[in-house]
């Protein structure tokens, strides 16, 4: 006879973890990539006439050069450029070099068993897809990705290309491994988002400073935070520094410092062998009572019970 489950005997060692951003949470809950077609080949001069698609198309230029048009916007492409073409969008593509290493993926971002199970080659010249509208991928409610079209990465020095090639390889040789393809695609999507975020930060004069500010907090967990001193180290007034930090991360520097500090405390209580008083001292608290109060406010646990779990 199988033993009876007894949830009362289970203790969970918890410490509050900041949830993902609203955009990431939405992607986690909704994105389920489905790779429909793929290619990884060397092409001689080639041309695909204007058309529209029912799904997404991503094209990575491994080498060579050409001219593409997406939504009637013409642009040149070359090695390590990534082109993103949403569904129902006019586009044409031309490889003008003698050889072009061209990788591509046709895919759904939102898998739907009632809509996604089709496979067809849509030729150049086909721009009226009304008869096939039931197969059209729906709009994606993502503030960033829904805006992507055309060349979204230029000269990518990143992990995008090897991930792209691996997805193509698995799709061609192990087509039944749908979960592997989806997982790799999500990994690649995060790389693309990260690259785009870095490019966006180039227009934000304080983006690098805010990253340095987080590093400052991480390096000063063993002491109380002096925000005025911290702001001065970055040559900002305290009020302006607080404003820029909250704009970047959604919380104040003091709140982030406290949460990082208590996360470090949780690690020390769990793994270091130090007692509560020693952990409080290591993290610069003047007494164990202040430490215990701060720890409980952040984690909803008292340090002693957390350590003994």
**Domain 22-201 belongs in CATH node 2.60.120.280:** yes
pLDDT score recorded for residue 2: 47
Report the pLDDT value the prediction gives residue 10, as an integer from 0 to 100: 52
Helix, strand counts (H, E) of the chain = 10, 9
pTM as predicted: 0.67
The H-or-E segment that residue 288 falls in is: helix 288-299
Q: Which two tokens stand for residue 267?
A: 């690690």
Q: What is the DSSP string of 19-39?
A: PPPHHHHHHHHH-B-EEEEEE
Facing residues of 46 across strands? 95
Q: What percent of the chain has pLDDT over 90?
A: 67
What is the β-pairing status of strands 65-70 and 73-78? antiparallel
Q: Name the more confident of 280 and 25.
A: 280
Q: What is the mean pLDDT of residues 255-272?
A: 89
Tell whether the model's pLDDT for residue 72 goes beyond 90: yes
Q: Which CATH number fits domain 207-308: 1.10.10.60, 3.60.20.10, 3.30.1330.20, 3.30.2320.50?
A: 1.10.10.60
The owner of tokens 């590093």 is 215
> What pLDDT does residue 11 have?
52
Least confident of 122-136, 145-159, 177-191: 145-159
Average pLDDT over residues 170-198: 92
pLDDT level of residue 199 (50, 70, 90 thresholds): low
What values do phi and psi take at 184, rounded to 5? -65, -35
By C-alpha distance, which of 232, 238, 267, 265 is closest to 254?
Answer: 238
Span 57-62, average pLDDT: 96
For the chain, give the mean pLDDT.
Answer: 88
Q: Cα-Cα-Cα-Cα dihedral of 209, 215, 218, 223, to 10°?
A: -60
Tell me the per-residue pLDDT of 204-220, one tens digit each, with 9 for 90 and over.
667 778 888 988 999 99
β-partners of residue 106 are 37, 57
pLDDT of res. 61:
95
Tell me the pLDDT band of 78, cut-offs 50, 70 and 90.
Answer: very high
Residue range(s) occupied by CATH 1.10.10.60 in the chain = 207-308
Over 80: is that where the pLDDT of 20 sits?
A: no
**Angstrom distance (rounded) from CA 183 to CA 68:** 29
pLDDT band at 195 (very low <50, low <70, confident <90, very high): confident
**Average pLDDT for residues 221-243, to the nearest whole number?**
92
Percent of the chain with pLDDT over 70: 90
Q: Please give the pLDDT value at position 118.
A: 92
Q: Which of 50, 62, 60 is nearest to 100 (CA)?
A: 62
> CATH 2.60.120.280 residue ranges in the chain?
22-201
Give the pLDDT confidence of 79-101 residue by residue, as tens digits: 999 999 999 999 999 999 999 99
Mean pLDDT of 242-256: 87
DSSP 8-state secondary structure symbol assigned to residue 287: S
């Amino acid at each position: 006879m199988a033993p009876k489950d007894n949830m009362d005997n289970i203790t969970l060692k918890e410490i509050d973890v900041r949830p993902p951003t609203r955009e990431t949470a939405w992607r986690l809950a909704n994105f389920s990539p489905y790779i429909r077609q793929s290619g990884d080949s060397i092409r001689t001069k080639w041309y695909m006439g204007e058309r529209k698609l029912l799904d997404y198309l991503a094209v990575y230029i491994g080498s060579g050069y050409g001219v593409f048009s997406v939504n009637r916007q013409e642009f040149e492409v070359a090695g390590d450029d990534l082109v993103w073409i949403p569904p129902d969008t006019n586009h044409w593509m031309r490889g003008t070099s003698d050889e072009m290493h061209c990788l591509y993926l046709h895919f759904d971002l939102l898998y739907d068993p009632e809509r996604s199970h089709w496979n067809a080659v849509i030729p150049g010249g086909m721009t009226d897809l009304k008869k096939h509208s039931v197969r059209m991928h729906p709009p994606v409610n993502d503030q960033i990705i829904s805006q992507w079209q055309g060349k979204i990465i230029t000269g990518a020095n990143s992990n995008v290309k090897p991930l792209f090639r691996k997805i193509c390889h698995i799709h061609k040789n192990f087509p039944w491994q749908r979960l592997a393809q989806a997982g790799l695609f999500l990994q690649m999507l995060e790389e693309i988002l990260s690259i785009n975020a870095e490019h966006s930060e180039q227009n934000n004069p304080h983006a690098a400073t805010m990253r340095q500010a987080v590093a400052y907090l991480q390096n000063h967990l063993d002491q109380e935070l002096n925000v005025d001193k911290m702001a001065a180290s970055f040559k900002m007034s305290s009020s302006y520094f607080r404003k820029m930090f909250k704009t970047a991360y959604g919380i104040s520097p003091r709140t982030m410092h406290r949460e990082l500090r208590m996360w470090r405390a949780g690690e020390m209580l769990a793994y270091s062998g130090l007692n509560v008083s020693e952990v409080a001292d290591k993290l610069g608290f003047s007494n164990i009572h202040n430490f215990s109060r701060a720890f409980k406010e952040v984690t909803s646990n008292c340090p002693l019970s957390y350590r003994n779990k």
